[in-house]
């Protein structure tokens, strides 16, 4: 960056640029917005970031983001713990919960198999999923990975890992557009995809 820009400004622009979906122009706009913003706003943002890192963790059961362990969904006796919906990211849990049509529990993989990006099965929470199924009392595993090459590869790998277990394996119906992410699907499409899931 130019020497005309003070180092703290440059550092914040570079920090924002490392966030997904934030390019250099957006990073610059956010930085200059915060420079002009009241101190209260910037302090609240800084406090929220510190609290995010200090007070959140991953649920030891489903690996979703939580403050308490286990998370509220895993600890809820009203949920059907015999049905596990496997998703790639915590945002996918939110998307499915918005439909109001699913009453089971979740398992968050934290990604999908992607050899191009150096992500293999060992980088995901697949071993933990197999352990949950092997522990018993699971009737169905719904594989709700994103439609597309990476999501399909992940679904096939999970199918192979669970093939010898006594559990029903299903996949979300293809009401979701190929190449899209579950977190961006509308509630009706997600609800129909859940209702129309098919055996793997």
Q: Catalogue all structural domains in the chain, each as residue range(s) with its CATH number.
A: 7-55 (1.10.8.420), 78-199 (3.40.1360.10)
pLDDT (0 to 100) of residue 148: 84
CA dihedral 99, 105, 109, 110 (to 10 degrees): 60
pTM: predicted TM-score of the whole model, two decimal places = 0.80
> 14 falls in which pLDDT band (50, 70, 90)?
very high
Average pLDDT, the chain: 92
Residue 1 has pLDDT above 70, yes or no: no
Q: What is the CA radius of gyration of the chain?
A: 20
Nearest of 130, 187, 134 to residue 157 by alpha carbon? 130
CB neighbours of residue 178 within 10 Å: 11
The residue written with tokens 């420079």 in the block is 35
Residue 120 has pLDDT above 80, yes or no: yes
Mean pLDDT (whole number) for 15-26: 95
Q: Rounded CA gap, 171 and 193, in Å?
A: 9
> 165 falls in which pLDDT band (50, 70, 90)?
very high
pLDDT (0 to 100) of residue 2: 57
Q: At 111, list the tokens.
A: 């990604």
Half-sphere exposure of 194 (CA within 13 A, CB side): 25
């Amino acid at each position: 960056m130019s020497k005309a820009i003070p180092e703290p400004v440059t550092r914040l622009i570079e920090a924002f640029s490392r966030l997904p979906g934030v390019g250099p122009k957006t990073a610059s706009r956010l930085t200059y917005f915060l420079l002009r913003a009241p101190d209260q706003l910037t302090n609240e943002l800084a406090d929220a970031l510190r609290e995010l890192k200090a007070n959140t963790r991953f649920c030891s059961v489903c690996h979703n983001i939580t403050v308490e362990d286990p998370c509220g969904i895993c600890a809820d006796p009203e949920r059907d713990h015999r049905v596990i919906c496997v998703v790639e990211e915590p945002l996918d849990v939110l998307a499915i919960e918005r439909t109001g049509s699913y009453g089971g529990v979740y398992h968050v993989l934290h990604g999908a198999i992607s050899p191009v990006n150096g992500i293999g099965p060992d980088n995901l929470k697949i071993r933990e999923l197999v352990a949950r199924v092997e522990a018993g009392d699971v009737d169905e595993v719904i594989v709700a990975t994103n439609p597309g090459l990476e999501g399909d590869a992940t679904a096939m790998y999970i199918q192979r890992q669970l093939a010898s277990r006594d559990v029903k394996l299903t996949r979300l119906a293809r009401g979701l557009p190929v190449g899209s992410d579950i977190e961006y699907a509308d509630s009706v499409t997600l609800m129909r995809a859940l209702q129309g899931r098919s055996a793997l």
